[in-house]
C-alpha cells in the first residue's frame, strides 16, 4: 500500500500489566491504596482496598467463548502471561497481523473500583507514568493513551497538561463514573487543557454508560456488547449541544470503538432538531459542522458506515481499528478485514481510515 497500517483502537487492560506497574511509581504510603496483585486460594488477583478487581494474567473480558474466543485460545491467549504488555510479544503479534502502529486504550473500567477520588488520581498518575516509559520502546509503534481522573475538573486538567510534558499523545476520559455531567462548569478546565495542549480526548464506548450493567445475566451482557458502541451518541450530543465544542474550537474529541453506522442518522437528527426545536441554544454552526470540525470515531468493520460517511463528506472523521486483543477484534486476520471493509471503495477512503486520519489527529511521524 505504501503507507503504515494503523489501528486507532487497541487495548492494554489492567490484568495484563506488570504487577508493579502502580506500586513501583507511588510513595510508600500509597502502595496499599493503588491496584496491586495478591495471592489468593483461587490464584493471583489485582485488588485495591481489599476489593478484588480482576484475575492477573486473565485474558478477558469475554475472550473465552464463541468463535473468536476459540481462535484466541488456540493462538496462545491463555492465562498466566503478560503478552499484551511485553513489548516483544506484542510487536510479534502486530507484525503477524500486518499492523504498524497502535493507538492503545488502557485499564478501562478501573475507575469503577474507587470511591476514594484521591486514590483514583494517584493510580491514574502512576499508570500514565508507566505507559510514558513503555512507549519509549518504539514511539512509532506504540501510542498509548493516558487516563484522566474523572472526579475533579482541576485534577483532570492538571493531569492532561502533564501528558504534554511526559510525551503522552492522547487521553481517555470515562463518562460512566464522572462526578458531574458534561455541561457542568466542573469540566471547563479540562476542555481548556485539551484545547491548550491539542491532546485529543477519547471516550471509549465500553466506558460510557452503566445501562444494562447486570453482568451476571447472559442477556444483559449480550445486550451491552451489541449496544455499547452506539451509546456514544450521548457523548456526541452532549459535547455539541452543551456548547463545549463551540467554546473550545481547538478541542478534539474521539469516540473510541463507537462504530460509525449510526452516525449519519444521528448527525441528521441533530441538525433537524436544532433547526426546528433547539434554536434557543444559539450555536453559531449546525451540530453536524462541529462534528466535522472536531470529532473522530473509530470502528472495527463497517462497510456501509464507511461508504455513507465518505459520501456525506465525513471521510476525515473516521478511523479503522483492530480492537486487539479483544474478542470483538480482528487479530490475526486484520488484513482480510481491511479488504472486506474497503473492497468496493476508492483507495483514498482506505488510506484515510487506516492511516491519514490517525496520523493527523495524534501528530504522528510518517
Residue with C-alpha cell 484521591? Answer: 118
> 280 in a domain, yes or no?
yes
> 132 in a domain, yes or no?
yes
Q: What are phi and psi of 38, to 5 degrees?
A: -125, 145
| Domain membership of residue 275 as a residue range | 6-10+95-107+120-362
pLDDT-based confidence at residue 60 (cuts at 50, 70, 90): low
> 27 in a domain, yes or no?
no
Residue 190, classed as helix, strand or coil, is: helix
Q: Give the percent of the chain with pLDDT over 90.
A: 79
> 162 in a domain, yes or no?
yes
Instruction: Measure the CA–CA gap between 118 and 125, rounded to whole angstroms.
Output: 11
216-244: average pLDDT: 79
DSSP for 66-124, written as a single string: HHHHHHHHHTT--TT--TTT-HHHHHHHHHHHT--EEEEEESTTGGGG-S-HHHHHHHH
Residue 6 pLDDT more than 80? yes
Q: Which three cell numbers stand for residue 178?
A: 464522572
The enclosing domain of 194 has a CATH number of 3.20.20.140
Looking at residue 223, its pLDDT comes to: 66
> 23 in a domain, yes or no?
no
The pTM assigned to this predicted structure is 0.94
- 254-300 pLDDT, tens digit per residue, is 999 999 999 999 999 999 999 999 989 999 999 999 999 999 999 99
Instruction: Measure the CA–CA gap between 146 and 156, rounded to whole angstroms.
Output: 11
Domain total for the chain?
Answer: 1
Per the prediction, the chain carries an average pLDDT of 92
- 175-195 pLDDT, tens digit per residue, is 988 999 999 999 999 999 999
> 310 in a domain, yes or no?
yes
Instruction: Measure the CA–CA gap between 288 and 240, rounded to whole angstroms.
Output: 9
Instruction: Measure the CA–CA gap between 5 and 208, rounded to whole angstroms.
Output: 28
> 215 in a domain, yes or no?
yes
> 51 in a domain, yes or no?
no
Amino acid at each position: 500500500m505504501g503507507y503504515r497500517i494503523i489501528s486507532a483502537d487497541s487495548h492494554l487492560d489492567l490484568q495484563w500489566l506488570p504487577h508493579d506497574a502502580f506500586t513501583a511509581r507511588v510513595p510508600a504510603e500509597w502502595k496499599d491504596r493503588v491496584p496491586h496483585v495478591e495471592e489468593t486460594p483461587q490464584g493471583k488477583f489485582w485488588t485495591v482496598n481489599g476489593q478484588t478487581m480482576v484475575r492477573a494474567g486473565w485474558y478477558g473480558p469475554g475472550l473465552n467463548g464463541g468463535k473468536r474466543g476459540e481462535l484466541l485460545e488456540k493462538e496462545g491467549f491463555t492465562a498466566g502471561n503478560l503478552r499484551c504488555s511485553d513489548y516483544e510479544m506484542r510487536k510479534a503479534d502486530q507484525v503477524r497481523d500486518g499492523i504498524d502502529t497502535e493507538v492503545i486504550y488502557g485499564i478501562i473500567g478501573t475507575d469503577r473500583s474507587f470511591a476514594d477520588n484521591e486514590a483514583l488520581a494517584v493510580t491514574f498518575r502512576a499508570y500514565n507514568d508507566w505507559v510514558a516509559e513503555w512507549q519509549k520502546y518504539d514511539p512509532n509503534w506504540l501510542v498509548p493513551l493516558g487516563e484522566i481522573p474523572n472526579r475533579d475538573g482541576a485534577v483532570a486538567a492538571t493531569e492532561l497538561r502533564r501528558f504534554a510534558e511526559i510525551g503522552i499523545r492522547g487521553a481517555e476520559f470515562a463518562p460512566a463514573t464522572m462526578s458531574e455531567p458534561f455541561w457542568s462548569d466542573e469540566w471547563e478546565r479540562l476542555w481548556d487543557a485539551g484545547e491548550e495542549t491539542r491532546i485529543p480526548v477519547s471516550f471509549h464506548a465500553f466506558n460510557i454508560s452503566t445501562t444494562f450493567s447486570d453482568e451476571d445475566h447472559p442477556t444483559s451482557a449480550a445486550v451491552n456488547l451489541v449496544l455499547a458502541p452506539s451509546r456514544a451518541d450521548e457523548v456526541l450530543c452532549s459535547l455539541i449541544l452543551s456548547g463545549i465544542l463551540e467554546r473550545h474550537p481547538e478541542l478534539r474529541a474521539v469516540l473510541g470503538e463507537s462504530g460509525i453506522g449510526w452516525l449519519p442518522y444521528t448527525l441528521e437528527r441533530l441538525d433537524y432538531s436544532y433547526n426546528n426545536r433547539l434554536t434557543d441554544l444559539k450555536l453559531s454552526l449546525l451540530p453536524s459542522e462541529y462534528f466535522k470540525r472536531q470529532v473522530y470515531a473509530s470502528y472495527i468493520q463497517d462497510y456501509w458506515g464507511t461508504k455513507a460517511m465518505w459520501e456525506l463528506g465525513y471521510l476525515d472523521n473516521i478511523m479503522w481499528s483492530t480492537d486487539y486483543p479483544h474478542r470483538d477484534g480482528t487479530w490475526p486476520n486484520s488484513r482480510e478485514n481491511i479488504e472486506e471493509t474497503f473492497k468496493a471503495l476508492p483507495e483514498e477512503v482506505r488510506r484515510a481510515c487506516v492511516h491519514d486520519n490517525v496520523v493527523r489527529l495524534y501528530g504522528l511521524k510518517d
